[in-house]
C-alpha cells in the first residue's frame, strides 16, 4: 500500500505542478525511470502493468506542451538547428534499417524505443522557453527524485544491484539478468541527476531551506548510486559537477574561488559518508573488474567498426542502425563509435555536429553579463546534466538509448536563441496621435 500511495502522490504532484507551470513537466520526464522502478518493485498493480508510468509521464508532458502553447502561442516556432539535426539523425538512422544485415531485428529495437524518443527527445525540450524556466523544473526534479531515492533505500527490497520486482525473489538467469530485478543503471541515472541538481543548489541563489534539503539529499542519492554498483554514474556525475561549478559560481575573485573549493570538499565528504550508509559489492569497484568491462566494450566496438569499414559504401553510409545485435550479439555500449559504424560518415557528421552545437550553446549563454544568479544556476545544472548523460552514453548507451543527451542539447539551443539575440523582437508600431482637446484629469 505504501508503494501505491507514494507512487500516485508523486505523480499527482508533478501533474498539478505542470498544470501551474509547464516547465515542471520536465521533472516528470527526468524521474520517469526511477518512478517506474519504484512502482514495479513496491506494487503488484504496477508490476503487472509496467508501462503505466510511461503513459502517465507522456500525458503530463503533452499537457505541459499544450499549456505552454496557450501562453506562448507557438512552441514550435523558431526551431533550432540542433533540433533539426536531431530529427535528421534519427530519420537517417531509421532509413539505414533498410540495408542492415537483419532489418527485422533492427526494427525490433525501434518499436519499444519510439515512445521514449517522442516523449524525452522531442516533447520535453518544448517545456523550456527561457533560462528562467530551468531552475523551477530542476527543483521539481530534485523533490520528486529525492523522494524516490529515499523510498528505495528505506523500504525497497534490493537484489544483487537493483530493486526486486514485486512478487519475485532476487534470482537471475543468463537469458535476462533483469527478469526479477529492475535495471540498476536507470535508477542510478536518476539518482545522479538529482545529485547534480542538489550539489549545484548549495550556493546562490538558493535560500537556507533549499540548501539544507540539498545537503540531506546528496548522501541519499550517492548511496543509491553506490548500492546499485553503477561506476559510470558516479564518475559521470563528478565530471558533470566539475563542468558546471564554474558556470554556477564564476571564479571572479578569491571569494568565488573559495566557494568552489568549499562546495567540492563538502560534496566529497558527503560522498564518503554515503559509502558508509549502504552495503555494496566492492568487487565491482576494483580496478581489474572495471578494466575488463572497458576492454570488453571496446572489443565489441572494434568488431563492429571492422565490419563497417570492410566496404566503402558501409563506411560512408553505415552498416545500418542496430546492426550490432547481428554482428556482435549486443550493442557495444559506446554510442559515438556505434554511430560511426552503423550510420557511417553521414550519420556521425550529424551526431558530432549536435554535440558541438550543444557545447557552443553553453558557452554563448554563460557569456551573458546580464544573467542573474538564478538564471546562471539553471544553466549550470542543464550543462552539467548534458555532460553527465553524454559520458554515460559513451559507457552504457546506444543511439536509441541516448535520448536524454539530445533532449538537453535541444533545450540548450532553445535557451540560446533569446540569449544571443537570434529571436526577432517584435515592437509595437509607433503611431502619431493628436493631443486630446482637453487635459486628462485622471492621468
- Does residue 423 surpass a pLDDT of 50? no
Burial of 91 (0-12, 13-18, 19+ CB in 10 A): exposed
Q: Which residue has the cell 538529482?
A: 194
Residues 8 and 132 in one domain: yes
Residues 143 and 218 in one domain: yes
- Rounded-to-10 torsion of CA 286, 292, 298, 301: -120
Residues 110 and 56 in one domain: no
- Does residue 402 surpass a pLDDT of 70? yes
Residues 132 and 117 in one domain: no
Does residue 242 belong to any structural domain of this protein? no
Does residue 415 belong to any structural domain of this protein? yes
409 pLDDT band, cuts 50/70/90, is very high
**DSSP state letters, 147-181:** HHHHHHHHH--B-SSSBBPTT--S---SS-TTSSB
Structural domains of the chain, count: 2
Residues 152-172 have a mean pLDDT of 82
**DSSP state letters, 409-440:** HHHHHHHHHHHHT-S---PPPP---PPPSS--
Among 95-104, 193-202, 266-275, 427-436, name the one with the lowest average pLDDT. Answer: 427-436
Residues 60 and 94 in one domain: no
Where does a domain end: 234, 249, 268?
234
C-alpha cell at 260: 568552489
pTM, entire model: 0.88
pLDDT of residue 429: 41
User: Which residues, 6 or more positions from 90, have their beta carbon under 8 angstroms from its beta carbon?
Assistant: 117, 121, 399
Residues 35 and 67 in one domain: yes
Residues 144 and 8 in one domain: yes
Domain residues for the domain of 352 are 80-126+286-419
418 pLDDT band, cuts 50/70/90, is low
74 pLDDT band, cuts 50/70/90, is low
Residues 338-360 have a mean pLDDT of 96
Residues 66 and 121 in one domain: no
pLDDT of residue 371: 78
**DSSP state letters, 73-103:** S-SSSS--HHHHHHHHHHHHHHHGGGGSSSH
Residues 49 and 196 in one domain: yes
DSSP 384: H
Residues 322/400, Cβ–Cβ less than 8 Å: yes
Residues 105 and 183 in one domain: no
Burial of 71 (0-12, 13-18, 19+ CB in 10 A): exposed
Amino acid at each position: 500500500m505504501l508503494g501505491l500511495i507514494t507512487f500516485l502522490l508523486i505523480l499527482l504532484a508533478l501533474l498539478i505542478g505542470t498544470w501551474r507551470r509547464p516547465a515542471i513537466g520536465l521533472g516528470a520526464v527526468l524521474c520517469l525511470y526511477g518512478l517506474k522502478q519504484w512502482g514495479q518493485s513496491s506494487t503488484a498493480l504496477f508490476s503487472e502493468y509496467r508501462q503505466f508510468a510511461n503513459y502517465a509521464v507522456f500525458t503530463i508532458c503533452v499537457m505541459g506542451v499544450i499549456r505552454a502553447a496557450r501562453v506562448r502561442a507557438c512552441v514550435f516556432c523558431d526551431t533550432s538547428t540542433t533540433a533539426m539535426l536531431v530529427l535528421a539523425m534519427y530519420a537517417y538512422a531509421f532509413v539505414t534499417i533498410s540495408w542492415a544485415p537483419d532489418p527485422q531485428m533492427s526494427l525490433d529495437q525501434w518499436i519499444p524505443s519510439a515512445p521514449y524518443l517522442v516523449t524525452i527527445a522531442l516533447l520535453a525540450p518544448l517545456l523550456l522557453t527561457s533560462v528562467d524556466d530551468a531552475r523551477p523544473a530542476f527543483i521539481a526534479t530534485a523533490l520528486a527524485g529525492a523522494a524516490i531515492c529515499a523510498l528505495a533505500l528505506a523500504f525497497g527490497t534490493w537484489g544483487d544491484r537493483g530493486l526486486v520486482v514485486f512478487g519475485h525473489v532476487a534470482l537471475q538467469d543468463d537469458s535476462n539478468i533483469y527478469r526479477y530485478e529492475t535495471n540498476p543503471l536507470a535508477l542510478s541515472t536518476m539518482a545522479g541527476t538529482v545529485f547534480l541538481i542538489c550539489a549545484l543548489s548549495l550556493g546562490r541563489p538558493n535560500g537556507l531551506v533549499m540548501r539544507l534539503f540539498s545537503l540531506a539529499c546528496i548522501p541519499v542519492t550517492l548511496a543509491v548510486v553506490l548500492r546499485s554498483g553503477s561506476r559510470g554514474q558516479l564518475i559521470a556525475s563528478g565530471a558533470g559537477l566539475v563542468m558546471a561549478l564554474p558556470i554556477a559560481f564564476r571564479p571572479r575573485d578569491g571569494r568565488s574561488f573559495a566557494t568552489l573549493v568549499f562546495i567540492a570538499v563538502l560534496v566529497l565528504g558527503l560522498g564518503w559518508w554515503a559509502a558508509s550508509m549502504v552495503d555494496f559489492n566492492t568487487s565491482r569497484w576494483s580496478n581489474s573488474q572495471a578494466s575488463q568491462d572497458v576492454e570488453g566494450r571496446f572489443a565489441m566496438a572494434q568488431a563492429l567498426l571492422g565490419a563497417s569499414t570492410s566496404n566503402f559504401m558501409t563506411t560512408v553510409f553505415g552498416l545500418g542502425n542496430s546492426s550490432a545485435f547481428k554482428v556482435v550479439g549486443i550493442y557495444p555500449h559506446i554510442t559515438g563509435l556505434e554511430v560511426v559504424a552503423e550510420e557511417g560518415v553521414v550519420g556521425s557528421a550529424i551526431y558530432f555536429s549536435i554535440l558541438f552545437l550543444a557545447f557552443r550553446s553553453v558557452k554563448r549563454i554563460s557569456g551573458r553579463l546580464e544573467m542573474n544568479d538564478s538564471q546562471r544556476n539553471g544553466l549550470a545544472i542543464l550543462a552539467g546534466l548534458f555532460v553527465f548523460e553524454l559520458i554515460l552514453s559513451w559507457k552504457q548507451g546506444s543511439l536509441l538509448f541516448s535520448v536524454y543527451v539530445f533532449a538537453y542539447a535541444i533545450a540548450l539551443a532553445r535557451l540560446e536563441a533569446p540569449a544571443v539575440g537570434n529571436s526577432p523582437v517584435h515592437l509595437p508600431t509607433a503611431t502619431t496621435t493628436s493631443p486630446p482637446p482637453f487635459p486628462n484629469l485622471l492621468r
